[in-house]
Amino acid sequence: MQKGVVRKRPPSKPSSYGMQLQEKQSMKREYGLDERQFKSLVKGILGARKKGEASQLLLQNLETRLDSIVFRIGMAETRAQAKQLVSHGHVAVNGKPVDIPSYHLQLGDVVGVRASSAKKPFFVNLKVAFQKYQPLPWIELEKDKLEAKLVKLPTREEIKPSVEIPLIFEFYSR
């Protein structure tokens, strides 16, 4: 072998731990959560073992967060922007201002723009964008009022996750 020549190894397949880590990181990034929040959510579902499938419960918990609903109704272009709109106090739930992005909505909750924020140019332009937006099956959208109502909990098939959720549970059950 020549001096200074480095042999390249063929790329190896990731280990099971590597795949689990990759799926966890991907879902955390998609929903904009930090490790502490995500771990707490997953451990709570694993520990509680409520009725229903664990992956279904995880997705429902993530999708019923206030920042996710704001993103899903088209009020924000990204989840980060949705989180910012909520944090800055532009969003109201059932007529009351809420500035906590992780706030969990219940069935029947109405999410809308605060009256004081509705006059801002961002929200005035949003009315035009809302007219073209087609809401998801679990959200009822009132386009004129800039409001949305959570009418049912989403199913796994409706959400179509981009990750393998069982791998995430395997990661945290170590």
Alpha-carbon distance values, 113 to 11, 33, 43, 117, 160 (Å): 50, 23, 33, 7, 28
Q: What are phi and psi of 128, to 5 degrees?
A: -65, -45
Q: Is residue 107 part of a domain?
A: yes
Report yes or no on 16 lying in a domain: no
CATH code at 61? 3.10.290.10
Rounded Cα distance, 82 and 79, in Å:
5
For residue 76, give every residue at least 6 positions away whose Cβ sits within 8 Å of its Cβ, in sequence order, or none. Answer: 70, 82, 84, 85
Judge whether 52 lies within some domain: yes
Instruction: Indicate whether 9 belongs to any domain.
Output: no
**How many domains, in total, are found in the chain?**
1
Global pTM reads 0.85
Whether residue 15 lies inside any domain: the answer is: no
Among the listed residues 151, 168, 124, the one whose alpha carbon sits nearest the alpha carbon of residue 64: 151
Q: Does residue 46 belong to any structural domain of this protein?
A: yes
Q: How far apart are CA 95 and CA 111, in angstroms?
A: 8
pLDDT at 127: 78
Containing domain of residue 139, as a range?
Answer: 22-159
From first to last of its 174 residues, the chain has per-residue pLDDT tens of 567 777 777 778 889 999 999 999 999 999 999 999 999 999 998 887 665 588 889 999 999 999 999 999 988 989 999 999 999 999 999 999 999 999 999 999 999 999 888 888 888 888 777 777 787 899 998 888 889 999 999 988 888 888 999 999 999 988
pLDDT of residue 78: 93
